[in-house]
Structure 1
């Protein structure tokens, strides 16, 4: 028994959609055709709407993949920040940083201050916004980055890692200063961060003032060179202030006592 011409055309559309990798058309064709018939749209409008839905789905999938590949430890969005509780300097500079203009400019952002003041939240929030706007982002802690570099060197895959590291639009290196490094680790970190200096953006969070970076690297010349390279034309944000993480803990404890 032969198919009706209409059914044959639908089957052909399904096959073409599969070959061209257009899953939204394949999945929702009947629904789209029904809507178009009810509204009596012209062929051009129908085709444009089909392609628009496919593009929307593809953009959404790309955003999801960029966030997944960025390897964030948490999803901390800028919208979830208690801006009024951020340190004063962060409140002043956040509006500018939220434009993400520092990324195409290849400028670094250094968030420096005592623990619990929102450094990581701001950094991840900017990273997530960058992913949503089409930038390629990678999140890591500084200790993990040093270990990763050492592993790649041992496995003779360092050049591959360097090529990838250089090409990210934005790298977020969290927790500079929580752990000090041996000479090898310091040199490797300096080399890799230098690969991006002046060309690609890096956000660094640190709990130490620059005067104390010598405690991390234990080499005054390298420390001076690292600070000079990272801070050149960078946005420096003073994150010293009251710990709102501590404030949240106190509020939680009070609620437990009242319960």
Structure 2
């Protein structure tokens, strides 16, 4: 590909129609070769800078509570199913195929870290991501309903490439909250990907939804063609606390 063709392509990608017309009309430059050299360097840098800014913007817009990377996970400490599935999940093919990922297990086993890490990878790969804890998400939905902006939020919500809802099961919610959560997750069923983390097994979800029929319907929609990972295992945080206490005691003994 010659320089002129490269420049025309860059101008299209960067939406610079005036510069593109000048490049197409070689008579616009007294010394086209020198002008193309400079323009190619400048526009290539502009494209790279825009890509970096776009990644940063997507990460900010996702509203992660912390920036946790998959590389920071201690894979050997993950529950067995997570270790087995991690290579496949890292490819983000589940997003391309509109599949869900359900992570269930006790606190401290890496559910939130894994979910956020996958969300960060998705942002870097160009996907639009939405993150919220389930309690805060339900509060958002109730506020939108009271302000009569729920429909505009729904239109935006169903278009996210990946939605991550963390901490399902820590706090139960009322009938309105259960119905709002069900209706919004149903918008994405079999079309867009959702990651859900929960400290409860599916059998106990009825305890927080208080409706057997709704719970069964939601479970059916979420688990259809999904990656369901049992994250039962020893708590990361408990291991870190025990190690910290041992190190502290060793330090005291040395002093």
Bin the TM-score by the shorter chain.
0.7 to 0.9
Q: Distance in 1 between matches of 2:118 and 2:211?
A: 32
The question of 1:75 aligning with 2:67 is answered yes
- Give CA-to-partner distance per residue, 1:120-153, whole Å, 9 cap, x none: 0000000000000000001100111111000100
Q: How far 1:164 sits from its partner (Å)?
A: 1.1
CA–CA distance in structure 2, aligned partners of residues 138 and 255 of structure 1: 39
Find the aligned partners of 1:209 and 1:59 in 2 and give their Cα distance: 40
- The partner residue of 1:151 within 120, 127, 143 is 143
Aligned to 2:87: 95
- State yes or no: 1:223 paired with 2:215: yes
C-alpha displacement of 1:191: 0.3
Counterpart Cα distance in 2 of 1:165 and 1:252: 42
Distance in 1, matches of 2:243 and 2:37, equals 56
* CA deviation map 1:156-210 (0-9, x unaligned): 1101111111111000000011111111111110000100111110000001111
Aligned to 2:195: 203
**How far off is 1:45 after superposition?**
3.4
Alignment partner of 1:188 is 2:180: yes
State the TM-score, normalized to the length of structure 1. 0.83
Q: What SS does structure 1 have at the residue aligned with 2:92?
A: coil
- In the other structure, the counterpart of 2:13 is none
**Deviation per residue, 1:105-126 (Å, 9 max, x gap):** 1110001111110000000000
Structure 1's consecutive aligned runs of 4 or more residues displaced over 4 angstroms after TM superposition are none
Q: How high is the TM-score relative to the length of structure 2?
A: 0.84
Structure 1 unaligned residues grouped into runs of 5+:
1-19, 21-40
Question: Which of 210, 219, 244 is residue 236 of structure 2 equivalent to?
Answer: 244
Task: Find the counterpart in structure 1 of residue 51 from structure 2.
Answer: 59
Cα distance in 1 between the residues matched to 2:137 and 2:241? 30
Offset at 1:68?
A: 0.4
Q: Distance in 2 between matches of 1:121 and 1:106?
A: 21
- 1:49-83 CA-partner distances (Å, limit 9, x unpaired): 21110000000000000000000001110000000
Aligned residue pairs total 220
Secondary structure (helix, strand or coil) at the match of 1:167 reads coil
Partner secondary structure for residue 138 of structure 1: strand
Structure 2 unmatched ranges of 5 or more: 1-15, 17-32
1:71-150 alignment runs, 5 A limit: 71-150=63-142
